[in-house]
């Protein structure tokens, strides 16, 4: 597919697209991790995998990574229209669909039979930040064939913008610092999506906030929950995010060993949370990053039910 960069520029803006492409080019040229670690992160990941094998829990971790949980979550929003009370949002995030081809059938099986009105994917379609992304696209398309509602998505820190035309051709609508309206039962809410705030930092909450109207319910899709303070200050009602994997490899009780969301306290790493007037949820994600292993942190598919919050 020929990528129409002019069309992407019109949507994301010249400066932000240029910033993104320069960072993408850096990834391709150097094949280095996105974050500045003292050690080689890829070698470190291999050492983690080897260590887990030596202590005999690698295969347990891989089984855990393929044991998908469906989490049912209610989000109580004070300005949610009554017509949307009971409206269901299916959230997938951090698919990393190219790390293990055994994962996609597990996701497909988990979503079959679920009832929902809309699906949102909050970024990270692939695992690596370099090399070809065609496997991630192929696996994502297989997953999306099982989705029975419209799909909206945002990009994550592992995603190149070139995947957008491929996936939009298949019916996934990306929100690149863009908004849309969701109509239901004669009422309307605003759905906004921002580009990756973590590595590329090409998000623009100020742009999507221009479409906020007084007293209108609004939901923001952000790959990482680190935008919570900006989102609340802008007046958004709710924020759905991923990125953290809930820690992926955790201590007993789900205590994350690593917090990879800048500025986020532990309670925002996984599950429901609140920041002043903003209702939030951070999914543990459906896939894995680095190595296809999870410990004390099951993969997650989230079914959110919107509820009107009465004072």
CB contact burial 295-311 (16+ within 10 A = b; e otherwise): bbbebbbbbbbbebeee
Write the pLDDT tens digit of every residue in 118-150: 999 999 998 877 667 888 999 999 999 999 999
Higher pLDDT, 281 or 29: 281
Q: Are 74 and 304 in contact (CB under 8 A)?
A: yes
Task: Give the sign of the dihedral formed by CA 118, CA 199, CA 282, CA 81.
Answer: negative
pLDDT on residue 177: 98
Average pLDDT of the segment spanning 283-302? 89
Please tell me the CATH superfamily of domain 5-31+39-308, with its number: Metallo-dependent phosphatases (3.60.21.10)
Average pLDDT of the segment spanning 192-206? 95
Which candidate, 43, 24, 44, 21, places its Cα nearest to that of 34? 24
Write the pLDDT tens digit of every residue in 7-57: 999 999 999 999 999 999 887 776 554 444 434 445 555 566 566 666 667
Q: What is d(CA 10, CA 12) in angstroms, rounded to the nearest whole number?
A: 6
Average pLDDT of the segment spanning 265-275? 88
Neighbouring-strand partners of residue 74: 305
Q: What share of the chain in percent tops pLDDT 90?
A: 64
Write the pLDDT tens digit of every residue in 297-307: 899 999 999 99
Average pLDDT of the segment spanning 198-203? 93
Give the number of C-alpha atoms closer than 13 A to the C-alpha of residue 17, restricted to the C-beta side. Answer: 15
pLDDT on residue 40: 45
pLDDT band at 70 (very low <50, low <70, confident <90, very high): very high
Write the pLDDT tens digit of every residue in 166-178: 999 999 999 999 9
The ranges assigned to domains in the chain are 5-31+39-308
What's the chain's average pLDDT? 88
């Amino acid at each position: 597919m020929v990528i129409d960069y002019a069309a992407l520029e019109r949507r994301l803006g010249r400066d932000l697209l240029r910033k993104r492409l320069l960072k993408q080019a850096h990834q391709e040229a150097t094949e280095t991790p996105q974050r500045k670690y003292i050690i080689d992160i890829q070698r470190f990941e291999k050492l983690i995998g080897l260590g887990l094998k030596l202590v005999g829990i690698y295969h347990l971790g891989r089984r855990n990574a393929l044991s998908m949980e469906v989490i049912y979550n209610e989000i109580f929003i004070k300005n949610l229209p009554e017509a949307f009370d009971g409206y269901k949002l299916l959230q997938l995030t951090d698919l990393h669909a190219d790390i293990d081809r055994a994962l996609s059938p597990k996701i497909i099986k988990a979503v079959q039979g679920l009832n929902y009105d809309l699906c949102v994917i909050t970024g990270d379609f692939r695992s690596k930040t370099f090399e070809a992304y065609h496997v991630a696209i192929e696996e994502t398309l297989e997953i999306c064939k099982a989705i029975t509602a419209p799909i909206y998505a945002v990009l994550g820190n592992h995603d190149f913008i070139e995947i957008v035309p491929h996936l939009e051709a298949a019916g996934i609508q990306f929100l690149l610092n863009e908004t849309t309206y969701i109509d239901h039962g004669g009422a309307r809410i605003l759905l906004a999506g921002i580009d990756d705030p973590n590595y590329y930092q090409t998000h623009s909450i100020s742009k999507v906030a221009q479409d906020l109207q007084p007293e209108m319910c609004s939901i923001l899709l952000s790959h990482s929950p680190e935008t919570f303070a900006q989102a609340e200050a802008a007046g958004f009602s709710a924020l759905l995010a991923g990125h953290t994997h809930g820690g992926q490899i955790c201590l007993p009780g789900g205590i994350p060993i690593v917090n990879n969301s800048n500025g986020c306290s532990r309670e925002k790493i996984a599950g429901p949370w609140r920041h002043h007037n903003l209702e939030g949820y951070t999914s543990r994600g459906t896939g894995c990053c680095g190595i296809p292993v999870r410990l004390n942190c099951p993969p997650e598919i989230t079914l959110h039910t919107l509820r009107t919050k009465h004072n």
